[in-house]
Amino acid sequence: MHTLAPMRHPSQPHPVRDLLASYFWSGDAIRSRSVSDVVLSGTLDVPAPPARLIADWTREASLRLGLEPGDVEALPLARARARWPDYRHCVQAVSDWTRTLGLPEALASCDVALMACRGARYHHDGARYGGMAFCNLFLSEDRGLDLHFPSTGHRISLARGTAVVFDTGQPHGVIARRSSGFDVADFPDDKDCTQVFLTWELPIEEAHLGHALQVAFDIDPSTAQRLDEEQVWLNGAPAGVCPDSGRWRRAG
């Protein structure tokens, strides 16, 4: 079973969203595109990972990764798959869901990783994954955390089975449900705030995905020709994100 969240937040237009541009590698050239404010989300029926695997993830996050509030780090996927009988079921559930969104075979040839976070400071991933959208499946139980997109108004409660597809250039963070921004104090050492999730990198140039996210391509070819690295610009200048509020600001 799944439910589909509205594609756009109905009451919070973002006045400068049309002035956002993502510059990304397409083959051996930089190409320009819009940054989508569409966030697709659903709740999938996936079984809980085995208790011993969850315990392994907890040890890995605390001992090897030393996961601090706001950190997002990779866990060993190959080892997890060997101890995770329902891994294929989880992948199939996401594949079935993305197909209902008009994304046939979205996961077929995409890289997948297993990640853990203790919340996440606001950021965008357009400087490294500008040619991608992310598809995430959250595997942990509800820890009282939300995935928040401050520029669009989308706020998605995280629990086992929460699935999302979104533009890597869109600012996002994982924050406490009662908070309006990222605060380290919301993630004390004596509280289990870890979320584990699978993430796929979906090529933004794939026609079905670009259509679903309403991405416009080649919006600023003259600037793209002058660049030699991926980045996101706001109002004609490179842009970064405030890690606490998620607001756009000039890079550097």
Report CA dihedral (83, 86, 167, 192) to the nearest 10 degrees: -60
pLDDT tens by residue, 17-26: 448 999 999 9
pLDDT tens by residue, 134-169: 999 999 999 999 999 999 999 999 999 999 999 999
Domain 38-213 has CATH 1.10.286.10: no
CA–CA dist 73, 5 (Å, integer): 27
pLDDT tens by residue, 214-239: 999 999 999 999 999 999 999 999 99
CA–CA dist 99, 93 (Å, integer): 10
Residue 239, C-beta contacts closer than 8 angstroms, at least 6 positions apart: 20, 232, 233, 248, 249, 250, 251
Give residue 8's pLDDT band: very low, low, confident or very high (50, 70, 90): very low
CA–CA dist 119, 86 (Å, integer): 25
Q: What does DSSP say about strands 231-234 and 145-149: parallel, antiparallel, or unpaired?
A: unpaired
pLDDT for the residue 62: 87
Residue 156, C-beta contacts closer than 8 angstroms, at least 6 positions apart: 5, 39, 41, 146, 147, 148, 162, 164
Q: Report domain extents, the chain.
A: 38-213
Torsion angles phi and psi, residue 15, rounded to 5: -65, -20
Question: Residue 52's closest CA among 60, 41, 40, 44?
Answer: 60
Structure tokens at 160: 């086992």
pLDDT tens by residue, 71-105: 999 999 999 999 999 999 999 999 999 999 999 98
pTM: 0.91
As a whole number, the mean pLDDT across the chain is: 92
Three-class secondary structure assignment of the chain:
CCCCCCCCCCCCCCCCHHHEEEEEEECCEEEEECCCCCEEEEECCCCCCCHHHHHHHHHHHHHHCCCCCCCEEEECHHHHHHCCCCHHHHHHHHHHHHHHCCCCCCCCCCCEEEEEEECEEEECCCCCCCCEEEEEEECCCCCCEEEEECCCCEEEECCCCEEEEEECCCCEEEEECCCCCCCHHHCCCCCCCEEEEEEEEEECCCHHHHHHCCCCECCCHHHHHHCCCCEEEECCEEEEECCCCCCEEECC
